[in-house]
Structure 1
Amino acid sequence: MTAALDIFRALADATRLRVLALLRSMELSVGELAQVLGQSQPRVSRHVKILCDAGLAERRKEGSWVFVALGAEAQVAPVLAALDAWCHGEPDHWAVADAARLAAVRADRAVAAAEWFEAHASDWDAIRSLHVAEEQVEAAMARVVGQAALGTIIDIGTGTGRMLELFAPQAARALGIDRSSEMLRLARAKLDHQANAELRQADLYALPLRDEDADLAILHHVLHFAQQPGAAIREAARVLRGGGRLLIADFAPHDREDLRSRDAHTRLGFSDDQMLGWFEAAGLAPAQVETLEGGELTVKLWLARKASATLKEVKAA
């Protein structure tokens, strides 16, 4: 009864109902909520706290920003179903106004993303010009992953969210993590219409998932930035279910030292022996290796699979 009372008290305010409706559309920062609602950030923060205390919303800090999303589905779904059942007819004037302001927020995100890409386009183009076209890399990754439903996927070091954009339509849940709050804001601009995509600020060595919670993990052009690639692979393996897959796209060994000094590449590519050794140490079995030549740098795809519980028991016996 206490939980029910908290929920009904949280909903007994027009502003908080508006916040809940907005969060159904997309994850928003407190500042963006204030912009849409036309209220001060402190006032909006108080409303958000009440919703969070009732389990209807959750807050995530990213740098100096605080983002708000719907709470756990088990808590929120019955509430949203009841609200849908009770609401009939045309939306009220607040809903219409909020939808218009929400469109403005989306437009602001798109403009910010476009400005960032324009400022950094030369850096991206310089690296991309060294290897096979990214479209070919993505097509090869899609072939390796296959067309079947993917369950829960996690894109580690999601950057601008391109891997989520590519694979989220096949997934029940798609989570992208990145340490950079700036990158996550860019990803949000790209993914705000992808309902099953979530973004969180986190470290690749401490993923925000429980053990055996994911079906596919992706490291796309991320591992060459890692100080401890083996540890990153072990952490990815931890969150995979039995039979789950890890897909890594990165460079074969090369001697472009300028990428280390100019672009902060910690590792100048990886050999198959290195990668397979890390897989073995993480309890992963190699499943497929592809080589994509073309240009000065060679791109490699390494796919590994985590042993199922049944297979582990057989081996142990």
Structure 2
Amino acid sequence: MQKLPDLFQSLADPTRLRILTLLRAMELSVGELAQVLGQSQPRVSRHVKILIDAGLAERRKEGSWVFLSLGRAERVAPVFALLDSWSALDGEDPWAVADAARLAAVRADRAAAAERYFASHAADWDELRSLHIAESEVEAAIARTLGDREVGRLVDIGTGTGRMLELFAPDAERALGIDRSPEMLRLARVKLAEAGLASAELRQGDMYSLPLPAASADTVIIHQVLHYAQQPAAAVAEAARLLAPGGRLIIIDFAPHEREELRTRDAHARLGFADDAMLKYLKAAGLQGRVVEHLKGGELTVTLWTGERPKAKLKVVA
């Protein structure tokens, strides 16, 4: 446990206070922090290390990028309560005003990068969407599936641009999106920030080895991801590992089809899934599986399956 004098020592520099304030607004890379602060990356990195050692910030690597976020809430909340109280007495800090303006520029840069990426891939995505029922109807079906109980702790595996978080994080106790692609995570950050969902977490991770403990989620979603999996049964088992007793896994993917060009053009490893195959994956993962709905329309049928972790049985004491 960090001693109180050491904690205050870690805050005894204006730059470190500025860094904390910026991370309170959004996750930032070291390079973005340097851009906002107008300082060199090595200098910023030294300040960041002190904050990390104090438990006030956390560091996470995504590909060649390093992202920084605030430390655990119980650690940073008292610090911000104190800083907010002093700010109310002393008035607005001129540095904070300037930093906020430069932070807006970082958000604009991210949005511009996202727009360029979407523009370069729009034709491929539009062609695939044209093969199946409208996304709005798929999303409505997912909402119906989720609607009969609380979302609780939500994990979206293969979050992509964060659409599932955008839709369902507002109803969740906690929301986390995981994706292997740093590029997709950067796009997701832009979309979630625009939607006012900066509190939703994003992490880089592999669907076969998720960076979360067992029984840490109440709802897990795998939306249009399994057809990229070389080992879908292993991916389902790893997703099931996250479920607490009574938790649900919701899988949305294509029914079997014969669009062979999707293998080469879009890197689909599987041309859809039969119900019996998916139910077999769910059963092997220790879940009670069922087919929820087939959404027909166009050449590809979208299917929803769920798998539920049985609730723990109460022990009867004689």
- TM norm structure 2: 0.95
Cα distance in 2 for partners of 1:158, 1:200 equals: 10
* Corresponding residue SS for 2:258: coil
Cα distance in 2 for partners of 1:259, 1:21 equals: 46
Cα deviation for residue 3 of structure 1 reads 3.0
Match of 2:162 in 1: 161
Match of 1:141 in 2: 142
Q: Which amino acid aligns with 1:59?
A: R
Cα distance in 2 for partners of 1:3, 1:240 equals: 36
Cα deviation for residue 128 of structure 1 reads 0.5
Greater mean deviation of Cα atoms: 161-170 or 73-82: 73-82
Cα distance in 2 for partners of 1:50, 1:63 equals: 23
Equivalent residues in 2 for 1:19-98 (5 A)?
19-89=19-89, 90-98=91-99
- CA gap of 1:2–1:180, structure 2 versus 1, over 3 A, is closer
Cα deviation for residue 261 of structure 1 reads 1.2
Kindly indicate whether the alpha-carbon contact (under 8 Å) linking 2:275 and 2:291 is maintained by their aligned counterparts in 1.
no
Kindly indicate whether the alpha-carbon contact (under 8 Å) linking 1:147 and 1:170 is maintained by their aligned counterparts in 2.
no
Cα distance in 2 for partners of 1:158, 1:66 equals: 19
Cα deviation for residue 147 of structure 1 reads 6.7
Match of 2:307 in 1: 304
Kindly indicate whether the alpha-carbon contact (under 8 Å) linking 1:284 and 1:306 is maintained by their aligned counterparts in 2.
yes
Cα distance in 2 for partners of 1:147, 1:6 equals: 49
Cα deviation for residue 63 of structure 1 reads 1.1
- Structure 1: 4+ residue segments shifted above 6 A: none
Match of 1:293 in 2: 296
Cα deviation for residue 155 of structure 1 reads 0.6
Q: Alpha-carbon deviations, 1:253-304, whole Å to 9, x = none?
A: 0111100111110000001101111111111112551100000000001111
Cα distance in 1 for partners of 2:5, 2:288 equals: 50
Greater mean deviation of Cα atoms: 2-11 or 15-24: 2-11
Match of 2:131 in 1: 130
Kindly indicate whether the alpha-carbon contact (under 8 Å) linking 2:156 and 2:178 is maintained by their aligned counterparts in 1.
yes
Pair 1:196-2:204 in alignment = no
Match of 1:232 in 2: 235
Match of 1:245 among 248, 251, 263: 248
* Corresponding residue SS for 2:132: coil
Cα deviation for residue 169 of structure 1 reads 0.5
Cα distance in 2 for partners of 1:236, 1:186 equals: 23
Cα deviation for residue 82 of structure 1 reads 2.0
Cα distance in 2 for partners of 1:280, 1:174 equals: 26
Cα distance in 2 for partners of 1:224, 1:124 equals: 15
- CA gap of 1:78–1:275, structure 2 versus 1, over 3 A, is same
Cα distance in 2 for partners of 1:6, 1:278 equals: 51
* Structure 2, unaligned runs of 5 or more: none
Kindly indicate whether the alpha-carbon contact (under 8 Å) linking 1:148 and 1:170 is maintained by their aligned counterparts in 2.
no
Cα distance in 1 for partners of 2:139, 2:2 equals: 50
Match of 2:122 in 1: 121
Cα distance in 2 for partners of 1:25, 1:136 equals: 34
Cα deviation for residue 5 of structure 1 reads 2.8
Pair 1:178-2:175 in alignment = no
Kindly indicate whether the alpha-carbon contact (under 8 Å) linking 1:3 and 1:54 is maintained by their aligned counterparts in 2.
no
Match of 2:257 in 1: 254
* Structure 1, unaligned runs of 5 or more: none
Cα distance in 1 for partners of 2:226, 2:269 equals: 9
Greater mean deviation of Cα atoms: 5-14 or 212-221: 5-14
* Corresponding residue SS for 1:291: strand
Match of 1:218 in 2: 221
Q: Which amino acid aligns with 1:195?
A: A
Kindly indicate whether the alpha-carbon contact (under 8 Å) linking 1:222 and 1:250 is maintained by their aligned counterparts in 2.
yes
Cα deviation for residue 148 of structure 1 reads 4.9
- CA gap of 1:147–1:17, structure 2 versus 1, over 3 A, is farther
> Percentage identity across aligned positions?
67
Cα distance in 1 for partners of 2:107, 2:85 equals: 28
How many corresponding residue pairs? Answer: 313
* Backbone CA RMSD of aligned residues: 1.5
Greater mean deviation of Cα atoms: 293-302 or 280-289: 280-289
Cα distance in 1 for partners of 2:79, 2:290 equals: 44
Q: Which amino acid aligns with 2:86?
A: W
Cα distance in 2 for partners of 1:31, 1:228 equals: 36
Kindly indicate whether the alpha-carbon contact (under 8 Å) linking 2:279 and 2:290 is maintained by their aligned counterparts in 1.
no
Greater mean deviation of Cα atoms: 143-152 or 212-221: 143-152
* Corresponding residue SS for 1:142: helix
Q: Which amino acid aligns with 2:264?
A: S
Cα deviation for residue 73 of structure 1 reads 1.4
- CA gap of 1:28–1:307, structure 2 versus 1, over 3 A, is same
- TM norm structure 1: 0.95
